[in-house]
Amino acid sequence: MRKLARALALLALLPTAAAAYPERPVKLIVPWAAGGDTDNIFRPFGQAFQKQLGETVVIANIGGASGTVGAREAKNAPADGYTLFAVHDYIHLTYYTGVSDVAHTDFAPVCAVASTPSVLTASPKTKWRTLPELVADAKARPGQITVGATLGSTSHFFPAIFEKAAGVRLKYVSYDGLAQRMNAILGGHIDLTDGNLTQKGKVDAGQLRFLAVGTEKRSPEIPDVPTFKELGLDVVYAVVRGVMAPKATPEPVLATLDGACTKAVRDPVFAQSMKVQGTDVHHLDRKGYAAFLARVDAENRLLAQELGLLRR
């Protein structure tokens, strides 16, 4: 009888411990430098997320090696819910191109939060004002027009898809994240890069030029910028960002994170901050995000193969 009572007492303690999560600050690893798109999206998300979690969410920028340094740290962190990973589609691409040994399957999905359409962006120092002018010049000078990209990431695949659709060849220059690429194109060191609506102010000021947007229909935020499709190129591309946790994170903790995320993305302050950045709030819960990741992973493996970039 005494043994049974002791066992019951121990069992009674387990739900209490699980229910206590979180009881200290949660670190959200952003695998890029501060000031880039991923950082600018997850900082306002972190504010909304911590309101729902009831604990501080600390953004930790851990850049390097096309996002791989931060990914490895997140993967190897204790699976206790106190280290999370701010991720986007790059995780599939860097894995299949051999840049990284970290795959999306090394994590437990929590939720998707945002989707940002890509815009082919040019330096105003270039002579083209339209996408057809760029295509004609690229065909006349194969491999001479420079494009800044984080190799093996979305900023590499987006122009590579454009290359294939247009039948042109560009010269890639490697940078670790958008902040570095923007500095390069603003300084006139490269001709093109993968931009988005966060650069609209710089376009309006004449510092950059939008050539085409990777959406199905024109964006109401940049109505004068044509889509690739209306110009005859089958290019539709957006970067989807979400939150993951180390793979062995306990189920009750994942459920708590999922619930907090669902409420956080409905925060009007977060929605407004996304609108300012030309990003759509794009929420998927754990189950939906897991299905999305599996589908996109398969699509990106095939894409890497078609582009001649598959390394594993």
Q: Where are the CATH 3.40.190.10 domain residues in the chain?
A: 119-231
* Residue 116 vs residue 13, higher pLDDT: 116
Highest mean pLDDT among 32-46, 238-252, 297-311: 238-252
At residue 222 the predicted structure's pLDDT band, cuts being 50, 70 and 90, is: very high
- Residues 53-68 pLDDT 10s: 999 999 999 998 889 9
pLDDT value for 12: 46
pLDDT value for 166: 97
Domain 25-115+240-306 is found in CATH 3.10.350.10: no
pLDDT value for 6: 53
Q: 220: cis peptide before it, omega within 30°?
A: no
**Domain 119-231 sits in which CATH superfamily?**
Periplasmic binding protein-like II (3.40.190.10)
Q: Where are the CATH 3.40.190.150 domain residues in the chain?
A: 25-115+240-306
Q: What does the mean pLDDT of the chain come to?
A: 92
- Residues 5-47 pLDDT 10s: 454 444 444 444 445 899 999 999 999 989 888 999 999 999 9
Res 3 pLDDT > 80: no
Contact indicator for 164, 235 with CB cutoff of 8 Å: no
CA distance 98 to 152: 8
Average pLDDT value for residue range 89-108: 94
Res 118 pLDDT > 90: yes
CA distance 188 to 190: 6
Average pLDDT value for residue range 178-191: 93
pLDDT value for 307: 83
How many CB atoms are located within 10 Å of the residue 18 CB? 14
At residue 152 the predicted structure's pLDDT band, cuts being 50, 70 and 90, is: confident
Question: Among 106, 134, 99, 100, which Cα is nearest to 120's?
Answer: 134
Res 99 pLDDT > 60: yes
- Residues 279-289 pLDDT 10s: 999 999 999 99
Compute the Cα dihedral for 240, 241, 242, 245 and give only its sign. positive
pLDDT value for 11: 45
**Long-range contacts of residues 128-137, Cβ cutoff 8 Å, at least 24 apart:** 128/211, 129/209, 130/211, 131/211, 131/212, 131/226, 131/228, 131/231, 131/233, 132/231, 134/192, 134/211, 135/166, 135/168
Res 199 pLDDT > 50: yes
